[in-house]
A = this chain, B = another copy of it.
Amino acid sequence: MEADKQKDEIFVRDCPIRNILSRISDKWSILVIFTLEQTAVMRFGELQRAIPDISQKMLTVTLRTLEQDGIVNRRVYAQIPPKVEYSLTSRGQSLLPRLNALIDWAKEQMDAIMEDRARSGQKASATSIIQYE
């Protein structure tokens, strides 16, 4: 009734799986989370240097979303020049083991998948930012 002009923005299907996956499966969230795992507390500029490919905009957006989801803390110091520190919340830390389980699986399967995909014309240069032991 109230949805005459525009479509209903409420979609019937949004299950927990999709909700959580959409939160961490964007382009940069995982990378930020793992970067913060290695260095518990980081300033904005540090994160940017640790993840060279990310733009300021996307780093900001990613951090804001992670903050909204209670995965990272954002601590602002009232000083000039500004100083803002980011760190994982306990919820963010509780996510790590699960994420690691998934990534371990990924590493196990990666070679095989790459071979399977070879004839599909898949690129794979392996310079990764985060070191996996």
Q: Residues on A close to B: CB < 8 A? A: 9-25, 27, 30-31, 34, 52-53, 68-70, 91, 94-95, 97-99, 101-107, 109-110, 112-113, 116-117, 120, 123-130, 132
Q: Is the CB of B68 within 8 A of A107?
A: no
Q: Is the CB of B68 within 8 A of A10?
A: no
| Complex-state Cα separation, A94 to B112, whole angstroms | 14
A47 to chain B, nearest CB (A): 15
| Complex-state Cα separation, A104 to B102, whole angstroms | 13
| Complex-state Cα separation, A106 to B103, whole angstroms | 17
Most buried by B among A16, A53, A68, A99: A16
| Complex-state Cα separation, A107 to B17, whole angstroms | 8
Q: Is the CB of A68 within 8 A of B120?
A: yes
